[in-house]
Amino acid sequence: MSAKILNGSELAKSIKENIKKEVEELKKQGIFPGLAVIIVGNDPASRLYVDFKKKDCAEVGIESFEFALDEKTTEEELIKLIQQLNIDSKISAILVQLPLPAHLNEERVINAINPDKDADCFHPFNVGRLMTGNPLFLPCTPAGIIELLEANEIEIAGKECVVVGRSNIVGKPLAILLLSKNGTVTVCHSKTKNLDEVCRRADILVVAAGKPELIKGNAIKPGAVVIDVGVNRLEGKKLVGDVEFSTASEVASAITRVTGGVGPMTRAMLLKNTVKAAEILDIKNKKAYN
């Protein structure tokens, strides 16, 4: 293996230490960041993610409030809860753990969140602000990837950036962020022809397709930087990314692993958004009283 490992765990740890100090300072000013985490149903992966998020909050001094709702919760009930949290002064930011059970419309649920408390940056108001280059929050996974690149002094400006995947959570917002950093961005998806050929053009290749080991070493330009967002559990429980690590790490100059790469960075960015939301709430409250 010749590639440098881009260590998200280590970087996330130092980001969290800074957030912890920031939260201590805010508390001295009477600002108490609080994150509401809503989980509907009993999906084990969602439960695990929610537990991680609560643990992260506790580590940096952010209070988290869990709302665990029954699988059969109606959309009306869920939206009513969100509306209550929207005006609750203890709650700076709201996160609805996705995916929701099939009977709930994710778009309508996300649209119900107060954009000022949109911890994930999924609300169309915030997506629009991101698109027009004036973001309020940054979407967690894409922002985590940019911080990982920048902390490792990987220049984005002028580089050929290829993003595999066009989801609203990863691919599309990441493409916008890379563009805002002056990358030349190509977005690939399930209908892209000659995927390997397009990937081989990339100086920076980010793969978020949710397809185990879709991209192998022969689809990577020698010396490229490879960010593997995918997390896939194979039968027998082995975790693999969307990139075949054994072959890709022979060709790339730098690469993330399936664990300790993008995941911890995503989690750290959620904490950043929660702190930002607490500051926004404080400013708005002060304006309301003046």
Residue in 19, 110, 130, 209 binding ligand NAD, rule: CB under 6 A: 209
> Residue 125 in contact with residue 144, Cβ under 8 Å?
no
Catalytic hit among 56, 116, 118, 120: 120
Check residue 165 for interaction with ligand NAD (CB under 6 A): yes
97 part of the active site: yes
Q: Which of 52, 249, 276 is nearest to 143 (CA)?
A: 276
DSSP E strands in the chain: the ranges are 4-5, 34-40, 63-69, 93-96, 160-164, 184-188, 204-207, 225-228, 232-233, 239-240, 254-255
Contacts of 112 (CB under 8 A, 6+ apart): 79, 82, 83, 86
Residue 53 and residue 267 in contact, taking contact as beta carbons nearer than 8 Å = yes
**Near ligand NAD in 87-146, by CB under 6 A:** 141
Cα dihedral 160/260/233/38 (nearest 10): -100
User: Amino acid identity of 267?
Assistant: R
By beta-carbon proximity to ligand NAD, the closer residue of 91 and 96 is 96
Tell me if 267 sits within 8 A of 57, measured CB to CB: no
Q: Quick one: which segment of 24-32, 101-109, 165-173, 218-226 binds ligand NAD (CB under 6 A)?
A: 165-173
Residue closer to ligand NAD, measured from CB, 150 or 196: 196
CB of 144 to ligand NAD, least distance (A): 7
> Shortest gap between Cβ of 167 and ligand NAD (angstroms)?
3
Identified binder of ligand NAD from the candidate list 230, 244, 270, 273, rule CB under 6 A:
230
The reply on whether position 190 binds ligand NAD by CB under 6 A is yes
Whether 120 is catalytic: yes
Note whether 214 binds ligand NAD by CB under 6 A. Answer: yes
Please report whether residue 188 would count as binding ligand NAD according to CB under 6 A.
Answer: yes
Question: Does residue 34 interact with ligand NAD by CB under 6 A?
Answer: no
Please give the full DSSP string across 19-61, using - where no structure is assigned.
Answer: HHHHHHHHHHTT---EEEEEEES--HHHHHHHHHHHHHHHHHT
Q: Which residues are catalytic?
A: 53, 97, 120
* Site residues (vs ligand NAD, CB under 6 A): 141, 164-167, 169-171, 188-190, 192, 195, 208-211, 214, 229-232, 262-263, 266
